[in-house]
Amino acid sequence: MYTNLPTTEISEMNEKPLSIASLLMALSGGAVDVQAQTCTPTPVTPYIYSDGAWNMTATAAINIGNRIGLGPQPVNGGSWSWSGCGTAGSSREQFVSPGASCTATAVHTNGCGAQTTQSFAITAYPNYNTNPIPPNASGMHSNAVQLAAKIRLGTNIGNTMEAWGCNTPSETCWGNPVVSAAYLKLVKDSGFDAIRIPVSWDQYADQVTGKINDAWLNRVKQVVQQAVDNGLYVIVNIHWDGGWLERNINEASKVAVNAKQKAYWEQIATHLRDFDEHVLFASANEPEARTAEEIAVLDSFHQTFVNAVRSTGGRNAHRVLVIQAPLTDIDRAFNDWHAMPSDTVAGRQMAEVHYYPWSFTNQPEDADYSQVFCYWGNGHHSTTDTYRNSTREEEAYTDAQFAKMKEKFADQGIPVVLGEFAAVLRPETVCTDMPMHRASRAYYAQHVAKSALAHGMLPFYWEIGMNPGLLFDRGTPAVGDPQIYDGLLAGAGKAIALSTAPNSWTLSGGASNTSSASNMALTLTQAGATAGYTFANPVDWHRATLKVVLRFDETFVSNRRGGIDPILQFYTYRSNWAASQFKCWTADKVLVPNQDTEFTCSAFNMPKALGVGIQFAGTAGSVTIQRASIRFAR
């Protein structure tokens, strides 16, 4: 009876009963082989509940003993079965307290029998506060304010203990030598009171258990011990460390980061617990928190740090702890950061910020928003390379920024660690007036250190031990950039940096002024020619050291047979020449034309000296006063 119908219509009519039959069989549970071909598994979305919130994730880290919820979706339809991590039964939501790292597996079976498997990887860090001891106040007498008064100048062991991302982790993998006791002695002998040790820990830890390698814990302790043995105060932190804390400041990562923070600081604090107040701990480095929500998460990380350190007891119950502002940025600290962590002991916390006015200190190349600045501060702008003179963020700006920290923290009894500041040494292809660029960097270091101390902040220069223009050559070890060094000492009130700008010295006795654009220069015409400098305030010379760096021309050198003949002596005097001293006659010092030569004198003992001078022997030659400073005794 279908012979007159088109072929396509016959086909459609034949299919309809088959489709209905298949549907009926599926609903009745029959025809399993047909149903398996047409049933699609239901997608599963993983969720984990911790610290009062559900987060869409299949991984989590907690501390053993903490409770965590597993709640995959869909919420309705199908059935669930569980295994692993203490899960049981058929409830979609499982709340467990794993005793070790584990994997929980959920299987969702939908209405037509298709299954979807979802795994949850749970890292459960053990309790590493395994031997807490009673509080011990011996050697911990100073609160934060009293301790801050003992630190006028610090530096960093940068790019070393925190070196990260190498195939084989080590303190040398970024090119620095192993930290030596000789280098730490040099730091102390050079007039520094403290050293900040940035440290990486995560790459030395088991990522399942959170256990830090004992050899690394011991190595950090050895460096800390060497610093303390040399009389330095020490800040030990968790630095960038791959960003596990610094770049994960959000609700989704909050529980996992807090778990790791607790595990690591329990181990670090326990291992370093016996050190006295010379050792301080710092929670982080430059945590990337910008919004109010992120800052609240960061606050939880800092609270975990404080709780973990205090829980270990002993001297850690009284140790001064350093808490980092969001991004260690001064404006964010002043405007957006509203609470230090709660603590079991009062007055034992410091805040931390860093200071890098970008275009002068770190900007890598010219950009739309600004050119690179090479010359910073009053009296330190170039007259030949004016395009690169700083036009903002100089002394007045620095002072105003630091005043914010004084108002918000120092005046409230919370000292502020200025944990990093420095200015990169740029090449001559960028900064064509290199003498002025170098002088600007030194002046920046001097002014920042001085202003920081005036505003209740503790200056720690950022130093990485390599490349030209950096503070210390750690391999020798020796001071690497005397100009920066002199500036830092002067800023900290440990030295006086005498101005070597043109016309800052008074000439007499046959010396004429031939100053360059950046330094005092003089030409000698007769024996006994002098260059004298008047102090802004009288100087007590007791145990102080005068250092003068001079550069001689070929005429000066040849007229003294390369330095074999007498060269110079220093003098100082009281007001109206009521008393004077002539000291440190210098001869037999090999000279090289147009090369810096350093002379020092520690023989003066005159109180209330009004000025100092250099008296030259011989009759001809030109001299440039490159640098001059007076370092006070420790």
List, in sequence order, every residue forming a beta bridge with 266; answer none if it has no partner: none
Of the CA atoms within 13 Å of residue 417, those in its CB half-sphere come to: 37
Q: What is the pLDDT of residue 37?
A: 53
Is the model's pLDDT at 634 over the cut of 90? Answer: no
Q: What is the pLDDT of residues 307-330, one digit of tens each?
A: 999 999 999 999 999 999 999 999
Provide DSSP, 394-460: SHHHHHHHHHHHHHHTGGGT--EEEEE---PPPPTTT-S-HHHHHHHHHHHHHHHHHHHHHTTEEEE
pLDDT (0 to 100) of residue 253: 94
Q: What type of residue is 558?
A: S
Would you say residue 477 has pLDDT above 90?
Answer: yes
Q: Is pLDDT at 35 greater than 80 in this prediction?
A: no
What CA–CA distance (Å, rounded) separates 528 from 619? Answer: 8
Each residue of 362-393: pLDDT tens digit? Answer: 999 999 999 999 999 999 999 999 999 999 99
* Residue in 475, 474, 495, 476 with CA at minimum distance from that of residue 484: 495
Number of Cβ within 10 Å of residue 503's Cβ equals 10
- Strands (E) in 480-524, as ranges, are 495-498, 506-508, 511-513, 520-524
User: How do residues 571-599 score in pLDDT, each as one tens digit?
Assistant: 999 999 999 999 999 888 889 999 999 99
Range in 135-139, 203-207, 525-529 with the lowest mean pLDDT: 525-529
200 and 164 Cβ atoms separated by less than 8 Å: yes
CA distance 102 to 278: 41
Percent of the chain with pLDDT over 90: 87
Checking if the pLDDT of 28 tops 70, the result is: no
**What counts of helices (H) and strands (E) characterise the chain?**
13, 31
Instruction: Measure the CA–CA gap between 275 and 140, rounded to whole angstroms.
Output: 9
The helix or strand, by DSSP H or E, that contains position 54, with its residue range, turns out to be: strand 53-55
Are 538 and 551 contacting, i.e. CB atoms less than 8 angstroms apart? no
**Contact call for residues 460 and 353 (beta carbons, < 8 A):** no
> So what's the pLDDT on residue 517?
76
* Residue range 493-524, pLDDT digits in tens: 999 999 998 899 999 999 999 998 778 999 99
Reported as a pLDDT band with limits 50, 70 and 90, residue 38 is confident
Q: What is the per-residue pLDDT for 535? A: 95
Residue 169 and residue 157: Cα distance in Å, rounded? Answer: 17
List the domains of the chain with CATH numbers: 7-38 (no CATH), 48-125 (2.60.40.10), 141-358+395-420+456-467 (3.20.20.80), 498-631 (2.60.120.260)
pLDDT band at 565 (very low <50, low <70, confident <90, very high): confident
Q: Which of 154, 150, 149 is nearest to 448 (CA)?
A: 154
DSSP lists the bridge partners of residue 550 as 597, 625
Query: What DSSP designation does 340 have?
Result: P
Residue 469 has pLDDT above 80, yes or no: no
E strands in 84-228: 94-96, 102-109, 115-125, 133-135, 154-156, 194-197
Percent of the chain residues past pLDDT 70, beyond the cut: 94
Closest alpha carbon to 439 in 389, 495, 366, 371: 389
Would you state the structure tokens that stand for residue 392, as one six-digit string? Answer: 């903002």
Q: How far apart are CA 171 and CA 160, in angstroms?
A: 5
Count of all residues that appear for the chain in the document: 634
Examine the residue annotation and report whether 352 is marked as an active-site residue of this protein.
no
pLDDT at 20 over 70: no
Q: Which amino acid is at 342?
A: S
Collapse the DSSP code of 30 into the 3-class scheme (helix H, G, I; strand E, B; otherwise coil) and give the result.
coil
Residue 93: the pLDDT is: 97
Write out the two tokens for 287. 């945590």
Closest by alpha carbon to 193, among 123, 278, 128, 276?
278
How does pLDDT run across 421-466, given as a tens digit for each residue?
999 999 999 999 999 999 999 999 999 999 999 999 999 999 998 7
Q: Is 285:237 a contact under the CB 8 Å cutoff?
A: yes
Q: Quote the CA–CA distance of 289 and 251 in Å, as a whole number.
A: 12
pLDDT digits 0-9 by tens, 191-204: 999 999 999 999 99
Distance CA 238, CA 216 (A): 13
**Contact indicator for 308, 262 with CB cutoff of 8 Å:** yes
Kindly report, residue by residue over 50-81, the tens digit of the pLDDT: 888 899 999 999 999 999 999 999 999 999 99
Digit-coded pLDDT (tens) for 259-284: 999 999 999 999 999 999 999 999 99
H or E stretch at 335: helix 330-335
Of the candidates 331, 297, 631, the one whose C-alpha atom is nearest the C-alpha of residue 488 is 631
β-bridge partners, 417: 352, 458
Is 286 catalytic? The answer is yes
Q: Which residues pair with 133 in a beta bridge?
A: 313
Phi, psi of 585 (to 5 degrees): -60, 125
* Of residues 468 and 305, more confidently modeled: 305
Chain mean pLDDT for the chain: 92
> Catalytic pick from 286, 352, 393, 463?
286
Residue 410: pLDDT band with limits 50, 70, 90: very high
Name the range with the highest mean pLDDT among 28-32, 300-304, 565-569: 300-304
Whether this prediction's pTM lies above 0.85 is answered by: yes
